[in-house]
A and B are shown apart, each in its own frame.
Chain A
């Protein structure tokens, strides 16, 4: 082994690691022990390696990442639990239907309305917690992710909403149909632990029997969420926010 070959091998030497057990490295280190010039080069090389390593290890993980991983895991765990307990859920649902049948059959009851139910469930999702499948402020990346997972991706955002900062997206299911859930920030202070305060849900209107036919937004309020619903180009849109109706109207 000559000096050039030894230098090439010694570039991947990390003192204090199992590297020295590598036969090639052991031979190169032995050569450095008998060659002062190579030893000097190795000392400089080692110092630079340490400096580079230090910079790599300074990459900080974003605050909240750990909590988000755990939150998402718990959410999925709960879903799996209920899937396993499907028979129990079915029995409970049957009992609930029998008890509530007179109310459910009452004409005009919101509970029988597909749209009302859809709105309430999307509001619950936004207000009670969800896990984003993709955290990104890149609209193109979000659209690509949704398309890749066969969720509605050929949506059209209102012009004003296009100026809002996206935070990410999630894919949800409702009555067997995929929903694209886009999360945004209005720019107002977020509640503790909240990642967004503006959400856009997009679904095939065929899955919501009494979905509005027109493109004019219909406003409603569900708990703390103000929402607008409209249909456009074969998609049903629901835009909701906790920032109030006045803010919502500026985004449409």
Chain B
């Protein structure tokens, strides 16, 4: 499969969702492009070892995630963010408030989650992967995925609710890592 038209088809089909996943992890264009490029390089070198071609998409996402973890270990350039979460009671989110969400805000909230929650939450939203598939991609047990999703989603929603229910004059522009 690693030649000519097949490779082109594989790129055409998956480079966008792979980029979205990469960008949701790195929050920077260059880093995300590099991860996607590297993922396809690994496929070109090792893709022939994959026997079940129905798993190509999962294989690509797994590889991208491995490359991301590897690059993080090497560069260690992402600061840990201390957070204070809202009180236990969740405010009701009105439909009008929901419409105030934008991509930057959502990604900034994702960036504020604990690291282990970010990838499962991104996959949860970006692709309709089952919990089992997310577990395969991230190479963690199914129960771990469920618990990380539960915690990650709860925190993500609290952060977003805190942002979109805040009075506009106190609103922070939806920049990166400013939560």
Q: Within A138-164, which residues are at the interface with B (CB < 8 Å)?
A: 138, 141, 144, 148
Q: Are A76 and B16 in contact (CB under 8 A)?
A: no
Instruction: Give per-residue flags for A89-129: 1 if the beta carbon is below 8 A from chain B beta carbons, else 0.
Output: 00000000000000000000000000000000000000000
Determine the interface band of chain A, counting residues with CB < 8 A from chain B: 35 or more
With A9-B150, A76-B44 as known contacts, state yes or no: A69 contacts B92, CB within 8 Å: no
Question: Would you call B125 and A11 a contact (CB within 8 A)?
Answer: no
Across-interface contacts of A134 in B (CB, < 8 A): 30, 34
Segment of B49-57, B61-69, B78-86, B96-104 engaged in the interface with chain A: B96-104
Give per-residue flags for B74-117: 1 if the beta carbon is below 8 A from chain A beta carbons, else 0. Answer: 11000000000000000011010011011101110000000000
The reply to whether the CB of B153 lies closer than 8 angstroms to some CB of chain A is: yes
* Shortest Cβ distance from residue B37 to the other chain A in the assembled complex, whole angstroms: 6
B157 contact from A11, A19, A72, A77, Cβ within 8 A: A11
**Contact of A48 with B93 in the complex, beta carbons under 8 Å:** yes
Binary flags per residue of A13-29, CB closer than 8 Å to B gives 1, else 0: 01011110010100000
Q: Please, which residue of chain B has its CB at the minimum distance from the CB of A67?
A: B11
Known: A52-B160, A135-B30. A65 touches B7 (CB 8 A): no
B149 within 8 A of A: yes
Nearest B residue (CB) for A24? B146
A3 / chain B contacts, CB cutoff of 8 Å: none
Of chain B, the residue at the smallest CB distance from A132 is B37
In the complex the two chains form, is B30's CB within 8 Å of A76's CB? no
Q: Quick check: is A191 within 8 A (CB to CB) of the other chain?
A: no
CB-CB contacts of B31-60 with A at 8 A, as 1s and 0s? 101101100110010000000000000000
* B-side contacts of A52, CB under 8 Å: 101, 106, 125, 156-157, 160
A45-89 contact mask (Cβ, 8 Å, vs B): 1 or 0 = 101100111011111011001101110110011000000000000
Q: Could you tell me which residues of chain B, from 118 to 160, have a CB within 8 Å of some CB in chain A?
A: 122, 124-126, 128, 130-131, 146, 149-150, 153-154, 156-157, 160
Distance in angstroms between the alpha carbons of A57 and B126 in the assembled complex: 6
Which residue of chain B has its CB nearest to the CB of A50?
B98
Chain B minimum-CB-distance residue to A21: B130
Do B103 and A56 touch (CB < 8 A)?
yes
Q: Given the known A-B contacts A12-B149, A17-B130, A22-B131, are A136 and B23 also in contact in the complex, defined by CB atoms under 8 Å?
A: no
Judged by a CB distance under 8 angstroms, whether A218 is at the interface is: no
- Number of B residues near A (Cβ < 8 Å) is 49
Q: Which residue of A lies closest to B120 (CB)?
A: A12
B30 adjacent to A138 (CB under 8 Å): yes
> For the complex, is A172 an interface residue (Cβ under 8 Å from B)?
no
Q: Is A8 an interface residue when CB atoms closer than 8 A count as contact?
A: yes
User: How far apart sit A72 and B11, CA to CA, in the bound complex (Å)?
Assistant: 12
B103 cross-chain contacts in A, Cβ below 8 A: 55-56, 58-59
Q: Is the CB of A12 within 8 A of B153?
A: yes
Q: Would B24 and A69 count as touching, CB distance under 8 A?
A: no
Closest chain B residue to A8 by CB distance?
B150
Give which listed residue, B12, B37, B146, contacts A12 with CB less than 8 A. Answer: B146
Which residues does chain A contribute within 8 Å of B30, judged by CB atoms?
Answer: 134-138, 141, 168
Q: Return A129 CB to nearest CB of chain B, in Å.
A: 16
- Enumerate 22 A-B pairs (CB-CB under 8 Å) in ascending A order: A11-B153, A12-B146, A12-B149, A12-B153, A44-B93, A47-B98, A51-B98, A52-B106, A53-B125, A59-B19, A59-B24, A61-B19, A62-B19, A65-B19, A65-B33, A70-B7, A134-B34, A135-B37, A136-B31, A141-B31, A144-B74, A168-B30
Contacts A58-B103, A66-B12 known; list 17 others, CB within 8 Å: A8-B154, A9-B150, A11-B149, A11-B150, A11-B153, A24-B146, A45-B157, A47-B93, A51-B99, A52-B101, A53-B125, A56-B122, A59-B19, A61-B19, A69-B11, A135-B37, A144-B75
Binding site for A on B (CB under 8 A): 3, 7-8, 11-12, 15-16, 19-20, 23-24, 29-31, 33-34, 36-37, 40-41, 44, 74-75, 92-93, 95, 98-99, 101-103, 105-107, 122, 124-126, 128, 130-131, 146, 149-150, 153-154, 156-157, 160
